[in-house]
Amino acid sequence: MDRERMNRTTRMSSIDELQRRLEADAIESKREWWTRYLKGTARFRGTPMADVRRHAHAWWDEHSFGDLRAGDRVAVAVHLLREPLTEDRLAGMLLLGEAFVPEGWLDPGRDLPVMARLFDDGHLADWNSVDWFCVKVLGPWMMSRDGPSRESPRAELGRAIAAWRTAPVLWRRRASAVAFVNLVDRGDAVFEGFVDEVLESCRVLVASDERFSQTGAGWVLRELSTAEPDRVRAFLERHGASMSREALNSASRKLGT
C-alpha cells in the first residue's frame, strides 16, 4: 500500500473513532431541537458543543496529528468539514480555530482555496455551519496575521476573503461579510481599508433577493454601526431600497432610527 493510501486509511479509521465518541454524548432532544430550528436544512447528532470541543481536542492530541506534515494536518481537519453531520464539521472548525490558528499552521495560498471549495462543493451550505465557520475560523485566522497596514499579511488575507463576494454560491458570498461580523466594531483599526471592503461585500449581498444574502449584510451592518454609524446610515440611504425589511430592520437596530 503506498504512503498516501495508507495515510488515508489511517485517517478514516481515526475519524470513525471520533464520530463514535461524539455519538456517545449525543442527546436526542438536542438533535430534534436543532433539526427543527434549521428546518431540516442540516443534520445533527445532538452532541453539545462543549463535548464536541472536548472530544475533538483530545482525539487530535491522542493521535499526534500536530506532528503531521502541514498539508496532512489540514487534510484531517478538512475531512471532518466534509462530513454530513454538523457536529463532525464543528469539530473540524474548532480544531482549525483553536489549534491551527494559534499555532500558525494555516497558509492562505495553500488553504484558502481549499476552504473556498468547501462552500462551492456544498459542504458548508446552511447558515448555521457557515456562520460558525466564519466566526470560529475565518475571522480569527485573519486577526492572527500580522499588522493593520494596507499591505500587511492581515490585510492581504482580509481582502482575499472579502473577494468571495463574487463567488458562484450564496454561502461563500455571505461569508465575504459575515467572516468579519465580530471585528467590524473596530473599524479600520483592523486594517487600512477594512470598512470599505466590508461595505462593498454588503453592497453585493443586498443586491440579491436571497434571504440569507440579505440577512448576512443586515447583521454585519448592525455591528459595523457601533464604529461607523454615519457610514452605515449613508449605506442605508443609498441601498436601503434594495434591502428586505428583515435586513433593514437588523442593520438599523443600533442606530436609533
- CATH code of domain 1-105: 1.25.10.90
Cβ–Cβ < 8 Å for 232, 225? yes
Angle between helical axes of 211-224 and 170-178 (0-180°, round to 10)? 0
Whether residue 66 contacts residue 60, with contact meaning beta carbons closer than 8 Å, is answered with: yes
Q: Where are the domains of the chain?
A: 1-105, 127-257
| CA–CA separation, 243 and 221 (whole Å) | 12
CATH 1.25.10.90 fits 127-257, yes or no: yes
Q: What is the phi/psi pair of residue 85, to 5°?
A: -95, 140
127-257 and 1-105 share a CATH fold: yes
The pTM of the full predicted model, rounded to 2 decimals, is 0.94
pLDDT of residue 13: 74
Q: What pLDDT does residue 128 have?
A: 96
DSSP-based helix, strand, coil % in the chain, nearest 5: 75, 0, 25
d(CA 27, CA 30): 5
How many separate helices (H) and strands (E) can be counted in the chain? 15, 0
Q: Are 118 and 31 in contact (CB under 8 A)?
A: no
What pLDDT is stored for residue 257 in this prediction? 56
| pLDDT string in tens for the chain (257-residue length) | 334 543 655 566 789 999 999 999 999 999 999 999 999 999 999 999 999 999 999 999 999 999 999 988 999 999 999 999 999 999 999 999 999 999 999 999 999 999 999 999 999 999 999 999 999 999 999 999 999 999 999 999 999 999 999 999 999 999 999 999 999 999 999 999 999 999 999 999 999 999 999 999 999 999 999 999 999 999 999 999 999 999 999 999 999 75
